[in-house]
Structure 1
Amino acid sequence: MTQSKLRVLQVMRAPVGGLFRHVADLTRELASRGHEVGLVVDSIANDSQTEERLKALAEFVPLGIHRVAMPRVLGKGDLLAPMAVRRLCREHNINVVHGHGAKGGFYARLARLSGAQVAALYTPHGGVLHYSGKSPTGRIFHFLERALMRQTAAVIFESHYAKATYATVIGEPTCGSAIIHNGLTAEEFIAVTADKDAADFVFVGELRALKGIFPLVEAMDGLKRADGSPATLVVAGDGAERGAMEAAIAARGLGDFITLVGAQPARAMFARGRIALVPSLAESLPYVVLEAAAAQLPVIATNVGGIGEIFGPTADDLVPAGSADALRDKMQACLDHPEAAEAAMKIRLAHIAEQFSVKRMTDAIEAQYLSAIPTS
């Protein structure tokens, strides 16, 4: 490959959550390798930390951070945004445009369809798969997904689970495809030391039913430490169902043993609990599982999405989603046999360190970029 330095435009809608974490990590690593990167984000969608996140990324995007109106569902912005992406591709002499999520993926490939001479790659991150094929919006999105395959150099999936789901909902990609796991930085593999007064368990995530918060509350009822005292849990996160979770805690008389502290950084929270819990009912490839395992906490998680790929040789430790009894049994086993939980953690840590690094992730994505552009 004769092309060594790339000019890459990353396109995404909302700079929040795991999708933005992935783009930010990829952008920093690409910049460290001498590539020039620009970022296109929605001019409206954000959360309370959006501007802070984008400001922190600014030094790594010499091609700029560009705001374009991107409606969450279908709207007139869907006609204008691809034109704006095409214009940016021309102005900045872009080699590769990489769309992330449903809207980012559409705009990246529509820009190419409308005349931009670039290689268009796409990472779904769940995105379009969240729309039911039975709804009008879902049918339109799924049709566009298939129609734009010819404009796609490669679809990059973050897990085997994501690729299998895409094949079921959309169909097997007729363009190139690759499975490239998300990665963590070297600093994230430094062990977190538990606070002296750390709870037995810690949960970090959005407070909504899909994250398994109600089976979690039920599972806490009856858990005992070795000395017979009730087990404790600290919960970091916020969401529309926080009130319902608080009501469930109160109904079971667990208010003294479950503490809700609001949204907090995950790594800081890992010092406040000795065992991490991810009782989700559905996931793709959640960063919180990677982060907790890399921080060297035992992790109890449900067997959904790509979590089994993260657990690797310890995948048999996963519990069925939605079963409070199974979750309680696993939590009690970890309390009763901490040495076994520690041994499983070390096996899991070695697997993640080998398979889930930012360097490994970027090596593979960079190779996809280079193979997609003309070499002459």
Structure 2
Amino acid sequence: MTPAPPLRILHCFRSPVGGIFRHVRDLAEQHAKAGHEVGILCDSSTGGAYEDQLFETIMPYLSLGLTRMPIRRSLGPSDICATLRSYNEIKQLQPDILHGHGAKGGAFVRLVGSRLRVSRSRVARLYSPHGGSLHYDRNTLRGRTYFTIERTLERWTDSLVFVSDYERRTYCEKIGVPKAPWQLIHNGLREAEFEPVENAVNSVDFLYIGMMRDLKGPDVFIEALRRAEQLVGRPLRGVMVGDGDDQPRYQARIDMMGMGARLTMRPAMPAREAFALARTVVIPSRAESMPYIVLEAVAADKPVISTKVGGIPEILGENFEGFVAPGDVEEMATAMARTISEPGWLAGAMPDPVAFRTRFSATNMADRMMSLYRNCISTAAKQAQPRIASSLS
């Protein structure tokens, strides 16, 4: 049997931070190692020194290169220029696969890919929502606008790809049952990430790691740590790792509460480095899709306290004992205090490591994605044949 030819794959997304960027890096690395040509197109105005380092690590796998241009978060006239520039860049790369991540990336690949299809290209157009526009309220004007656009773009979509069943359900509730084909493919981790992370000699009690914005709950973490101290009757120590515009506000709150010596803030760093800083990881998010940080913490054998939001129950299990309600400081503090007073309680509640490793491996994720890519290309080729035959008759 003749081996399938390598593919030219271009990932498009707006902001090179957080879970989307991590997801794309994993796919790019896995597929490049398998012999495919991969490239990235994303925004040039977001990200910092940490993200620049991540780009350096992924560049050896990007044979189609890295293209960065200004892409605004909100809809606006600048999107017209960005779409036209994207079209010119993508047309030169001649991809087989256009995979858009997030609302802006998804819009670009479907608009540009559909224009290329008119020119007899057989490029396949895939879209992974990754939360994005799904976070909006359908009862608001902005929400209705975004959801109408999403519904319209479905007609130019070869496949939707959901990274969690929660994401799929939310899409159905807010946009509608997909009219385009879809597939559920969970995020996955590299083999090295399943090695346990040992606590540092001076490790603290609790770690918050993530963006410094209220959606992710750092304010809840701060208040809950103080309340947990009252519950256990002694000082506790914590560390907060991450960047964001709201960081000064959180630091001011820590200082006002007199906790500066016990709760420190550190800039963004690799997750496994951060895991060594504390004995328990706390995920106080008010909303999530399928957060990598929870996957990484479980794989690193770190006990986790988490809010029960988004796709997190698909990782930890619906009946996980370490779940708390989002935004509930008292419930979060109670769980934190219990980890202090009952050592080993939380570790015993974590998912089975063997089953977890099988379900959430990057190799499995990349293989399933590649199968989907090839199916989409095959379908696109079949759809193109009648058009070509018609044009020749």
Q: Report if TM-score (shorter chain) is over 0.5.
A: yes
Deviates further, 193-202 or 240-249: 240-249
Q: Which amino acid aligns with 1:122?
A: Y
Following the alignment from structure 1 to structure 2, what is the Cα–Cα distance between the partners of residues 302 and 166?
Answer: 21
Match of 1:191 among 167, 183, 196: 196
Given that residues 225 and 335 in structure 1 are in contact (C-alpha distance below 8 angstroms), is that contact kept between their aligned partners in structure 2? no
Given that residues 50 and 269 in structure 2 are in contact (C-alpha distance below 8 angstroms), is that contact kept between their aligned partners in structure 1? no
Q: Name 2:111's counterpart in structure 1.
A: 110
Match of 2:162 among 157, 161, 172: 157
Q: Which amino acid aligns with 2:159?
A: A
Following the alignment from structure 2 to structure 1, what is the Cα–Cα distance between the partners of residues 296 and 173?
Answer: 29
Any idea what the Cα deviations from partners look like across 1:102-160, whole Å, max 9, x if unmatched? 11100100012223321100001111213444555444332221111111111101111
Deviates further, 125-134 or 194-203: 125-134
Following the alignment from structure 1 to structure 2, what is the Cα–Cα distance between the partners of residues 85 and 240?
Answer: 29
Given that residues 231 and 337 in structure 2 are in contact (C-alpha distance below 8 angstroms), is that contact kept between their aligned partners in structure 1? no
Q: Which amino acid aligns with 2:204?
A: A
SS of equivalent to 1:195? coil
Structure 1, unaligned stretches of length 5 or more? none
Given that residues 193 and 300 in structure 2 are in contact (C-alpha distance below 8 angstroms), is that contact kept between their aligned partners in structure 1? yes
SS of equivalent to 1:39? strand
Change in Cα spacing, 1:135 to 1:261, as seen in structure 2 (3 Å) is same
Following the alignment from structure 1 to structure 2, what is the Cα–Cα distance between the partners of residues 72 and 241?
Answer: 18
Q: Does 1:318 align with 2:323?
A: yes
Q: Name 1:211's counterpart in structure 2.
A: 216
Give the alignment of 1:190-339 within 5 angstroms: 190-223=195-228, 229-312=234-317, 315-339=320-344
Deviates further, 84-93 or 111-120: 84-93
Any idea what the Cα deviations from partners look like across 1:35-74, whole Å, max 9, x if unmatched? 1112212243333334333232222111222234423222
Any idea what the Cα deviations from partners look like across 1:310-334, whole Å, max 9, x if unmatched? 1026524311111111111111221
Q: CA deviation at 1:269?
A: 1.5
Q: Percent identity over the alignment?
A: 37
Any idea what the Cα deviations from partners look like across 1:326-360, whole Å, max 9, x if unmatched? 11111122112222222223x35344312111111
Q: CA deviation at 1:88?
A: 4.3
Q: Name 2:124's counterpart in structure 1.
A: 119
Q: Name 2:389's counterpart in structure 1.
A: none
SS of equivalent to 2:31? helix
Following the alignment from structure 1 to structure 2, what is the Cα–Cα distance between the partners of residues 181 and 227?
Answer: 38
Given that residues 222 and 230 in structure 1 are in contact (C-alpha distance below 8 angstroms), is that contact kept between their aligned partners in structure 2? no
Q: Does 1:360 align with 2:361?
A: no
Following the alignment from structure 2 to structure 1, what is the Cα–Cα distance between the partners of residues 179 and 232?
Answer: 59
Given that residues 311 and 348 in structure 1 are in contact (C-alpha distance below 8 angstroms), is that contact kept between their aligned partners in structure 2? no
Given that residues 83 and 114 in structure 1 are in contact (C-alpha distance below 8 angstroms), is that contact kept between their aligned partners in structure 2? no
Give the alignment of 1:64-103 within 5 angstroms: 64-103=65-104
Q: Name 1:141's counterpart in structure 2.
A: 146
Give the alignment of 1:17-36 within 5 angstroms: 17-36=18-37
Q: Name 1:349's counterpart in structure 2.
A: 353
Q: Could you say what the CA RMSD is over the residues aligned between the two structures, in angstroms?
A: 2.5
Given that residues 27 and 61 in structure 1 are in contact (C-alpha distance below 8 angstroms), is that contact kept between their aligned partners in structure 2? yes
Q: CA deviation at 1:3?
A: 4.0
Following the alignment from structure 2 to structure 1, what is the Cα–Cα distance between the partners of residues 3 and 211?
Answer: 45
Change in Cα spacing, 1:264 to 1:65, as seen in structure 2 (3 Å) is closer
SS of equivalent to 2:317? helix
Given that residues 220 and 328 in structure 1 are in contact (C-alpha distance below 8 angstroms), is that contact kept between their aligned partners in structure 2? yes
Q: Which amino acid aligns with 1:231?
A: L
Q: Which amino acid aligns with 2:271?
A: A
Following the alignment from structure 1 to structure 2, what is the Cα–Cα distance between the partners of residues 88 and 215?
Answer: 43
Change in Cα spacing, 1:60 to 1:262, as seen in structure 2 (3 Å) is closer
Q: Which amino acid aligns with 1:128?
A: S
Q: Name 1:369's counterpart in structure 2.
A: 373
SS of equivalent to 1:296? coil
Change in Cα spacing, 1:244 to 1:52, as seen in structure 2 (3 Å) is closer
Match of 1:166 among 142, 163, 171: 171
TM-score for both structures, normalised by structure 1: 0.91
Q: CA deviation at 1:220?
A: 1.9
Following the alignment from structure 2 to structure 1, what is the Cα–Cα distance between the partners of residues 44 and 290?
Answer: 27
SS of equivalent to 1:223? helix
Structure 2, unaligned stretches of length 5 or more? 383-393
